């Protein structure tokens, strides 16, 4: 069955088609080439980050960042229990262990619990900007800068020695365009990884970007060069560079990954990013406000926020609605009912400890009461460029029938 109002839909408009055609017809490049270079430069300019490396997913970008820092077996990475599995898998897949902490009512990592979870094995913290709402980076940075954390930190690589504390690695899969106290997503942590997966605010089909905002002890251009070559098999020159006259010889200098972004993908993202602030983000905010307005008439609706007085602004990626007093079976009935009526709804997220893999790893939902409480009555509503305001009204009218 096709949904009349799907939960999500990628934006494929004439600007995207024109940029992809330009890539195909005018550049002669399919793998990483001029479009990837342009996307890196434009994401850097957009976010204000020191340097940006484009890769083929958020997951691979996070693995790259952790590898760069020298995280591996025996190390611990702290993440929130309420997130997509990739936040954990990027650490598990390089041999590190994951430690989970509970979340606040805004779905972001609980800093108090973080403080208690840090050990001498902790090498990285990955807060998640869930739904596009930034985690509390100042509070988390304060904790990481605390003398008790610094004295427990046991550096094992040159990068760890230089930083002198656990790496703050932001999962900004949802939050390109968001601001934390006025600062753009991409600049609020040591390293921020964006996702350009096809349901995200900006997409390249599959893709991601690693944004560097390292303390002054690092030389960002040097780290950028390292990450570029690490993302392409540890090869000293890219295919693009090797294509220069007389420049065929190369070396393999690291046991790298093969996670570079193809030019065709970058072309899709470029077309979207160029009108993100001017058109795509304001359109999203309009739909977000319309949901707030239509659902705000009912006291039971617990609505997500778009901004606060401290200058924090969501990217409006997901509309995470919660309905006060709703049980989990009733929530599931609403989603099934609405699906039969042609409306696609979703839940973000089933907390990780509820999943088979994480249960087998020893995690228990008993340790994450707030993630469970938020999950049980949460419903994520359709929200994307191209969604008609009338469709938002239809979704709200139907939802309000269940609570009246
Ligand atoms: C919070 C979060 N983190 C990480 C990811 C992984 O992104 P990607 O599919 O680009 O690897 C996603 C994707 O859905 C996500 O929602």
| Domain assignment of residue 345, given as a range | 276-403
The answer to the question of residue 31 being in a domain is yes
Give the three-state DSSP class for 390: helix
Q: Is the peptide bond before 165 cis (omega within 30 degrees of 0)?
A: no
**Which ligand 1 atom sits closest to the C-alpha of 196?**
10
pLDDT at 182 over 90: yes
Q: Provide the CATH number for the domain around residue 310.
A: 3.90.1150.10
Distance 193 CA to ligand 1 centre (A): 10
320 DSSP 8-state letter: E
- Quote the percentage of the chain above a pLDDT of 70: 100
Contacts of 67 (CB under 8 A, 6+ apart): 94, 230, 257
Banded pLDDT at 243 (limits 50, 70, 90):
confident
Identify whether 35 is a catalytic site residue.
Answer: no
Domain CATH code at residue 88: 3.40.640.10
β-strand 167-172 against 122-125: which pairing, if any? parallel
Sign of the CA dihedral running 70, 192, 225, 161? negative
Q: Mark whether 264 and 251 lie in a shared domain.
A: yes
Based on the fold, state whether residues 281 and 253 are members of the same structural domain. Answer: no
The 3-state secondary structure of 167-211, one letter per residue: EEEEEECCCCCCEECCEECCCCCCEEEEECCCCCCCCCCCCEEEE
236 lies in the same domain as 287: no
The SS3 assignment for 1 reads: coil
In a domain, 350, yes or no: yes
Residue 3 lies in a domain: no
- Do 117 and 260 belong to one domain? yes
Whether residues 260 and 307 share a domain: the answer is no
Does one domain contain both 146 and 23?
A: yes
Please work out whether the CB of residue 134 comes within 6 Å of at least one atom of ligand 1. no
Same-domain pairing of 96 and 42: yes
**Residue 232 in domain:** yes
Burial grade of 215 (CB within 10 A; 0-12, 13-18, 19 or more): exposed
Q: What is the pLDDT of residues 65-101, one digit of tens each?
A: 999 999 999 999 999 999 999 999 999 999 999 999 9
Pocket test for ligand 1, best of 86, 103, 200, 261 (most atoms within 8 A of CB): 86
**Domain match, 215 and 141 both:** yes
> Which residues, at least 6 apart from 57, have a Cβ–Cβ distance to it below 8 Å?
195, 197, 206, 207, 208, 259
| Chain segment 279-322, per-residue pLDDT in tens | 999 999 999 999 999 999 999 999 999 999 999 999 999 999 99
C-beta 54 within 6 A of ligand 1: no
Ligand 1 atom nearest 207 alpha carbon? 10
Q: How confident is the model at residue 247 (pLDDT cuts 50, 70, 90)?
A: confident
195 lines ligand 1 (CB under 6 A): yes
Establish whether residue 83 lines the binding site of ligand 1, counting it when its CB lies within 6 angstroms of any ligand atom.
Answer: yes
What's the structural domain count of the chain? 2
Instruction: Select which of 35, 67, 123, 200 is catalytic.
Output: 200
pLDDT for residue 345: 98
Residue where a domain terminates, one of 273, 296, 311: 273
Closest ligand 1 atom, CA of 130?
Answer: 1
pLDDT exceeds cutoff 80 at 35: yes
**What is the pLDDT confidence band of residue 274, given thresholds at 50, 70 and 90?**
very high
**Beta-strand pair 76-80/208-212:** unpaired
- Model pTM greater than 0.95? yes
By CB neighbour count within 10 A (0-12 exposed, 13-18 middle, 19+ buried), where does 217 fall? exposed
Where are any strands of DSSP class E within 214-316? 301-302
In a domain, 259, yes or no: yes
Environment class of residue 176 by beta-carbon count within 10 Å: exposed (0-12), middle (13-18) or buried (19+)?
A: buried
Could you say which of 226, 249, 273 is where a domain stops?
A: 273
Q: Rounded to a whole number, what is the distance in angstroms from the first to the last CA of the chain?
A: 29
* Pair 363, 376 in one domain: yes
Q: Which of 273, 300, 332 is the last residue of a domain?
A: 273
Coil, helix or strand at residue 113: helix
Check whether residue 121 and residue 34 sit in a common domain: yes
pLDDT of residue 404: 78
Q: Is residue 8 part of a domain?
A: no
Rounded mean pLDDT, 22-29: 95
Quick one: pLDDT at residue 1?
60
Kindly indicate the confidence band of residue 358, based on its pLDDT and cuts at 50, 70 and 90.
Answer: very high
pLDDT, residue 240, reads 80
- DSSP conformational letter for 33: S
Domain membership flag for residue 22: yes
The band of 248, judged by pLDDT with boundaries at 50, 70 and 90, is confident
- What is the H or E stretch that residue 375 is in? helix 369-376
Whether residues 174 and 226 share a domain: the answer is: yes
Atom of ligand 1 nearest to the CA of 60: 11
* 55 and 180 share one domain: yes
- Residues 27-47: b if buried by 16+ CB within 10 A, e if exposed: eebeebbbbbbbbbebbbebb
Ligand 1 centroid to residue 81 C-alpha, Å? 14
Can you tell me the mean pLDDT for 6-19? 97
- Range in 58-62, 169-173, 249-253, 375-379 with the lowest mean pLDDT: 249-253
CB atoms within 10 A of CB 223: 19
The pLDDT of residue 245 = 81
Q: Is 4 a domain residue? A: no
Indicate whether 11 pLDDT > 80.
yes
CA 326 / ligand 1 centre spacing (Å): 28
Give the sign of the dihedral formed by CA 88, CA 92, CA 96, CA 99. Answer: positive
């Amino acid at each position: 069955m096709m949904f009349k109002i799907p939960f999500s839909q990628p934006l494929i408009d004439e600007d995207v088609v024109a940029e992809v055609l330009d890539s195909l017809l005018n550049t002669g490049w399919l793998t990483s080439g001029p479009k990837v270079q342009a996307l890196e430069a434009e994401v850097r300019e957009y976010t204000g980050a020191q340097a940006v490396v484009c890769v083929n997913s958020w997951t691979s970008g996070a693995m790259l960042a952790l590898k760069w820092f020298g995280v591996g077996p025996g190390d611990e990475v702290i993440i929130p229990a309420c997130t997509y599995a990739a936040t954990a898998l990027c650490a598990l897949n390089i041999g590190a262990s994951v430690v989970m902490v509970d979340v606040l009512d805004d779905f972001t990592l609980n800093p108090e619990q973080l403080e208690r979870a840090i050990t001498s094995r902790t090498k990285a913290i990955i807060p998640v900007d869930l739904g596009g709402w930034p985690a509390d980076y100042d509070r988390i940075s304060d904790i990481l800068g605390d003398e008790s954390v610094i004295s427990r930190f046991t550096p094992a690589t040159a990068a760890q020695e230089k930083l002198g504390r656990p790496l703050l690695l932001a999962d900004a899969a949802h939050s390109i365009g968001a601001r934390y106290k006025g600062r753009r997503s991409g600049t609020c942590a040591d390293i921020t990884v964006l996702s350009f997966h096809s349901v995200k605010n900006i997409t390249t089909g599959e893709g991601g970007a690693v944004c560097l905002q390292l303390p002054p002890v690092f030389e960002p251009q040097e780290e950028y060069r390292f990450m570029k070559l690490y993302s392409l098999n540890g090869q000293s020159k890219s295919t693009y560079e090797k294509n220069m006259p007389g420049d065929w010889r190369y070396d393999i200098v690291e046991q790298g990954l093969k996670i570079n972004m193809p030019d065709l993908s970058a072309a899709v993202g470029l077309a979207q990013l160029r009108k993100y602030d001017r058109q795509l983000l304001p359109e999203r905010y309009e739909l977000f406000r319309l949901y707030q307005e239509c659902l705000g008439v009912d006291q039971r609706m617990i609505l997500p926020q778009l901004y606060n007085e401290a200058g924090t602004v969501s990217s409006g990626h997901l509309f995470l609605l919660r309905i006060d007093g709703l049980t989990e079976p009733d929530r599931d009935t609403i989603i099934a009912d609405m699906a039969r009526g042609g409306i696609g709804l979703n839940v973000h997220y089933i907390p990780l400890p509820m999943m088979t893999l994480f249960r087998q790893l020893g995690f228990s939902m008993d340790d994450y009461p707030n993630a469970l409480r938020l999950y049980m009555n949460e419903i994520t509503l359709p929200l994307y460029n191209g969604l008609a305001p009338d469709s938002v009204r239809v979704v709200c009218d139907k939802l309000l029938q269940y609570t009246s």
